[in-house]
């Protein structure tokens, strides 16, 4: 059995169980995924975490956790939070990458996408 997921910082985790797959083993895997992906207190980040992607994730986690948002709302919140100009097109590109990584869910149509953090894995 193999479990792959991305944590809130976009780091990919891959775990494999070989042999006797039991409910207990699956529960352990999911508990680990919940702990890593659903950490409430942000872990200490290295200096390299000051990338635009990490800043966007920070804004998403603090301002939009639990409810949907669009690229324009994130763009405005990013500018308010970090005081930097960041093009709306670049925000859309980063959102698309986060969808591809499995960090965000996207609904709607190309004319108006809506994004939401994917929920943590549960039993």
Contact 82/63 with Cβ under 8 angstroms? no
Query: DSSP label at 30?
Result: H
Residue 99, token pair as written in the block: 């969808």
pTM above 0.85, yes or no: no
Q: How confident is the model at residue 33 (pLDDT cuts 50, 70, 90)?
A: confident
For the segment 69-73, the average pLDDT, to the nearest whole number, is 96
Say which residues have a Cβ less than 8 Å from residue 21's Cβ, sequence separation at least 6: 1
Q: Return d(Cα 66, Cα 80) in angstroms, integer.
A: 20
Contact 25/16 with Cβ under 8 angstroms? no
**Could you tell me the domains of the chain?**
2-37 (no CATH), 47-117 (1.10.10.10)
Strand, helix or coil for residue 69: strand
Q: How confident is the model at residue 49 (pLDDT cuts 50, 70, 90)?
A: low
First to last CA, the chain: 15
């Amino acid at each position: 059995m193999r479990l792959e997921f991305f944590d809130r910082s976009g780091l990919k985790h891959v775990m494999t169980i070989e042999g006797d797959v039991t409910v207990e083993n699956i529960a352990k895997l999911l508990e680990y995924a919940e702990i890593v992906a659903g950490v409430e207190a942000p872990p200490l980040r290295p200096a390299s975490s000051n990338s635009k992607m990490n800043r966007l994730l920070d804004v998403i986690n603090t301002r939009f956790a639990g409810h949907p948002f669009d690229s324009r709302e994130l763009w405005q919140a990013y500018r308010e939070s970090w005081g930097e100009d960041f093009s709306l097109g670049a925000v859309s590109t980063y959102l698309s990458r986060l969808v591809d990584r499995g960090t965000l869910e996207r609904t709607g149509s190309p004319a108006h996408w809506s994004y939401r953090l994917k929920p943590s894995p549960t039993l």
